[in-house]
């Protein structure tokens, strides 16, 4: 599981500008962002956790980069639809897990006192593309 948190800077180009749509009826946009990416995982089934060694998740947080591009079009003055794609890049190098199944069983002889938990260090590079589409509602708030 991974999560990205950070600011995005967008540039949009208004198209079909009219009196009814002073900011444009539709517009393409692109953007970039730098933030934090956190990756969480479970160490692994029965061999990874147990009643005594209840490690539920391991987390690693690192810097991440985001790129976004899309298009937005107004159906009505206050309702629009959009479609966009986001690309996230993050490199995690402080991860451990029992990748080779070397940990002792968590339950030995029906009891919860298992052996030691073995953690193998590894790194992972996240390169993910998300595709989003949806509808948005705009509010006309004036002082």
Residue 19 — very low, low, confident or very high, per pLDDT cuts 50/70/90? confident
The answer to the question of residue 143 being in a domain is no
Residue 48 — very low, low, confident or very high, per pLDDT cuts 50/70/90? very low
Return the pLDDT at 110: 47
DSSP type of residue 30: E
The answer to the question of residue 97 being in a domain is yes
In sequence order, the 6+-apart residues with CB closer than 8 A to the CB of 124 are 39, 91, 92, 95
Return the pLDDT at 45: 47
Structure tokens at 139: 């509010």
Q: Is the pLDDT of residue 129 over 70?
A: yes
Q: What is the pTM of this model?
A: 0.68
pLDDT in tens, 56-114: 567 788 999 999 999 999 998 889 999 999 999 999 887 776 655 555 555 554 445 45
- Interstrand relation of 26-41 and 58-74 (parallel, antiparallel or unpaired): antiparallel
The structural domain count of the chain equals 1
Q: Is 133 left (phi over 0), alpha (psi -120 to 50) or beta?
A: beta
DSSP per residue, 42-89: ---HHHH--SSS----EEEEEEEEEEEEEEEEESSSSEEEEEEEEEEE
The answer to the question of residue 124 being in a domain is yes
The answer to the question of residue 111 being in a domain is yes
Domain range holding 51? 2-137
The answer to the question of residue 142 being in a domain is no
Q: Is 109 left (phi over 0), alpha (psi -120 to 50) or beta?
A: left
Return the pLDDT at 74: 92
The answer to the question of residue 58 being in a domain is yes
The Cα–Cα gap between 45 and 101 comes to 10
The answer to the question of residue 52 being in a domain is yes
Structure tokens at 59: 């987390």
């Amino acid at each position: 599981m991974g999560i990205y948190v950070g600011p995005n800077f967008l540039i949009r180009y208004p198209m079909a500008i009219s009196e009814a749509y002073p900011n444009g009826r539709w517009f393409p946009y692109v953007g970039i962002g730098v933030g934090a990416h956190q990756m969480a995982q479970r160490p692994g089934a029965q061999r990874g956790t147990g009643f005594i060694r209840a490690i539920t998740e391991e987390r690693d947080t690192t810097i991440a980069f985001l790129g976004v591009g899309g298009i937005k079009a107004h159906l009505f003055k206050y309702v629009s639809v959009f479609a966009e794609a986001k690309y996230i890049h993050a490199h995690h190098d402080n991860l451990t897990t029992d990748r080779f199944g070397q940990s002792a069983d968590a339950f030995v002889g029906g009891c919860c006192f298992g052996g030691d938990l073995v953690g193998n260090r590894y790194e992972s590079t996240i390169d993910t593309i998300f595709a989003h589409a949806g509808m948005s509602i705009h509010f006309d708030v004036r002082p």
